[in-house]
Structure 1
Amino acid sequence: MRALTRIFVILAGVLVLPVAQPALAETPKALVESLGDKAIRQLTGTVARPEREARFQNLLTAGFDIHAIGRFTLGRYWNQANPAQQAEYLKLFEKFIVQAYAARFAEYSGEQFRVVGERPDGEVTIVQSEVFKPGNPPARVEWRVRHGGQPKIVDVVVEGISMAVTQRSEFAAVISRGGGNVDSLLTALRQKTGS
C-alpha cells in the first residue's frame, strides 16, 4: 500500500507542474507528457519543504479543478453543509492536499514516467501512462482531464484505484464517526493542517 501511495504522490505532482504555462494545454496528452518531465525536476531533490509546498500550491491551483474534486470528495455531505462550512472545507481541503502530497515528494527515488495513450470518455479525456522503476513492472496510471476551455485534472486512477474516490471514502468515514456532522471533518482537517 505504501508503494501505491508513493505512486499517487508522484503522479499528482506530475500532473500539476507545467499547467501554469498556457501553451502546454493544447491537448490532454501533451499536457500530461509535459507535466511528467517538469514535476520530477521541480518538486524532487533538495527543495526545502516551504518552497516545495509553495510550488505545489501554485501548480495545484493552476492544474486541478480543486472545487470539483473537493465537492466530489465531500460526497452527499456537500449538500448538508451550509455555505460557511463549504467554504471552510474547500480551503482546508486544498491545504490538506498541498501539505500531504508536497511532503511526500521528498520520498521520490527515481521512478520514470511515460504517457502511452489517450481516449475520450464523455466530458473527460483519459490519458494513459505508466510509472516504472528499473527492475519493477510498470504501474498503470490514468489521468482524467476535463476538456473544454483550459484542461483541468479531475482525478488520477492508479492501478484501477481512484484518488478522488479513495479520499471520498476516508472523509465519509470521519464524518460517520462524528455522528454524520460535517464539523467533525472540518475539525479533523484543521488538526491535520495546523489551521
Structure 2
Amino acid sequence: MMNEFSRRKFLGTGGAALAAATVTTPAMALTEAAARRLVDQVVADINRVISSGKSLGGMISDFERIFRSYADVNIIARSTLGADSRRASPAQLRAYTDAFRGYIARKYGKRFREFQGGEITVRSVRRARSWQEVISTVKLPGKQPFEVKFLVSDKSGSDKFFDMIIEGISLRLTERDEIGAMLDQRGGDINALISDIKRAG
C-alpha cells in the first residue's frame, strides 16, 4: 500500500490538471454585467445575514442557502477532492458534494460572523482568462479594508462563482489542500472522509 507521501505525490499531478480543467473551459457568453449582477446578489444576501442578528446556527443555515444558490458547488467540491474524484463512484461524489456544502457553510459561516457591523461592497469586474473576476471590498469596524474576489463562470450552464479569493487566498485551493490532507489521514478512504466532513467545519 502507498504511504501518504507517495500517494499524494502520485496523485498530485493529476489533481492539479483536474482542478485546472474544471475552470478553464471557455465561458465567453458570460458578460461583465452578468457576473456583477450575480455577485451583487451574493453580497446583498451576505450583508443581510451579517446584519440580521441571528444566532450562529441561523447564520450558518443562511450561508448554506447562499452557497447552494450562487456557488458552483459541484465544480468546487470535485476540485477539492482532486484526482481522487476519478476513482469515486457517482454515489460517493453525490454524498461528498452534499457533505462538502454543509462543511463549507459551517466553516465560513463562522468567519462571516466576524463581519457583523461591517459591509461588503462590489468595486469592479474584469475578465480573467475564461471567467469574470468580480472584486469587492470588505470594511469592518476598526480594521483596515480588505479585498475579496469572486471568480464567476457559466461553465455549469448558469452563472455561478467557483472560487473566492479572500485577501489573496483561494478558498478552492486552500480546501483542496485541507481535504487532501484529511483523505491522507484516512488512508484514502473516501467514505470515511465523507462521514467525517459531515461533522467538521
Q: By the TM > 0.5 criterion, same fold? A: yes
Cα 1:139–1:83 change in 2 (3 A) is same
TM-score by length of 1: 0.74
Bigger helix fraction: 1
Amino acid at match of 2:153: R
Higher-Rg structure is 2
Structure 1 gap ranges (5+) = 1-24
2:39 partner SS: helix
CA displacement 1:137-179 (0-9 Å, x = unmatched): 3212111011365310100001221001001100000111222
What is the aligned partner in structure 2 of residue 55 from structure 1?
62
Aligned residue in 1 for 2:161: 153
Q: Describe the superposition over 1:59-83 as per-residue Cα deviations: whole angstroms up to 9, x where unpaired.
A: 2221111111110110111012122
* 2:194 is equivalent to residue 162 of structure 1: no
Q: How many residues align?
A: 169
From 188, 194, 197, the counterpart of 1:186: 194
Map residues 50-129 of structure 1 onto 2, 5 A cutoff: 50-129=57-136
1:21-75 CA-partner distances (Å, limit 9, x unpaired): xxxx952123323432332123444224554344333322211111111101101
- Which structure is richer in relative contact order (CA contacts within 8 A, separation 6 or more)? 2
Q: State, as a whole percentage, how many aligned pairs show the same letter.
A: 27
How far does residue 104 in structure 1 lie from its aligned partner after superposition? 4.3
Structure 1 pair 133–59 and aligned structure 2 pair: CA distance change class (3 A): closer
- CA RMSD, aligned part only? 2.5
Structure 2: runs of 5 or more not aligned: 1-31
Provide TM-score, normalisation by structure 2: 0.72
Out of 140, 143, 151, the residue aligned to residue 150 of structure 2 is: 143
